[in-house]
Chains A and B, each alone.
Chain A
């Protein structure tokens, strides 16, 4: 957004362009991604349980098949809830962005395109994660209730594809921080020609 627009909000913003020291969106993202990925991986582990059972026996780690599906369900439910906050903070911090315009990322995109794709992609992915949770819940409590394999193969395939999309989406977000320096305090100081060594300890 342009600086006039941001000024009209009347917030007391720090050097990083935010009313607080550390952006919240990248913190919440750890939960969204970690929970989603672990959910899918444990569902996969549950689905191929007969193959890996000797490994757990060898490790002396008692594993019950339904326990893996519990992780698959509750982690995904957690991901769904957290992601609403991830996207909300993401939008708040995106609107306060004053990114450099004369720079290109490793993927050849400028900051505005990276922001636009990451913003729109984020909303779509929120929808996808919530839809996956409904799908997973239907399998757990209706369609495959009592089945030894609680998830459909197609569900796992879709989960893997979404992990790939999340990887691309997350890299776009990472580039906003590490390449464009969005909301990064010392990077902003350097872009303004100041010395980051003057930062408080």
Chain B
């Protein structure tokens, strides 16, 4: 076994990387906003923006899962935190699959709109897509809430709490 040298936040690198990668999952939310605006204003530019943004979000999700698992493994999880962390982990992995599937659907819609462009008014999205995307955004918001709670309430990887835990004091 090799030993990692951990800093005052119990990490082998200066700052947690998971919350940094999460910045790019926020693009899933921006994609949804662009789809809604594009759908209601018949703007093809916004559809293109929505597609690329959800693609970025889907790619970032996998990176976020990897770093999330790594940093969760290095966190000093005390008893009240456990259920929130479990829930965050479960939704995180589920989102990996759900965002990938919805991105694939968005890709097919884009393909379809491009082919239909010459024939008829192509500037509408299937209502089913918007419905599923609304569900996805709710799930993302729940996930953001749980993740924020892990840091801002339970203070995982926050120096003051890491210090206390290292001294072996309960929690």
Which residues in A have some Cβ–Cβ distance to B below 8 Å? 16, 21-23, 26-27, 29-31, 33-35, 37-38, 42, 62, 64, 67-68, 70-71, 74-75, 78, 106, 171, 174, 177-181, 183-187, 190-191, 195-201
Contacts and interface: CB of A to CB of B under 8 A. Distances in A.
**Main DSSP-derived SS at the B contact region:** helix
B159 A181 contact: yes
A33 B25 CA distance: 11
Nearest to A64: B48
Contact of B24 (A38, A178, A196): A38
Contacts of B154: 185-186, 196, 199
16 contacts: A26-B148, A31-B30, A70-B45, A71-B48, A71-B49, A181-B155, A181-B161, A186-B161, A187-B158, A187-B161, A190-B161, A191-B160, A196-B78, A196-B154, A199-B80, A201-B84
B171 A23 contact: no
> Chain A at the B interface: mostly helix, strand, loop or mixed?
helix
B159 A75 contact: no
A112 to B, nearest CB: 17
A31 B23 CA distance: 7
A201 B80 contact: yes
Nearest to A107: B14
Contact of A35 (B8, B30, B78, B170): B30
A196 B155 contact: yes
Contact of B14 (A21, A23, A67, A106): A106
B152 A16 contact: yes
Given A38-B24, A70-B45, A201-B80, A26 B152 contact: yes
Contact of B152 (A68, A71, A183): A183
B153 interface: yes
Nearest to A79: B30
A11 B152 CA distance: 20
A197 B30 contact: no
Contacts of B124: none
Nearest to A63: B52
Contacts of B79: 197
A17 B129 CA distance: 41
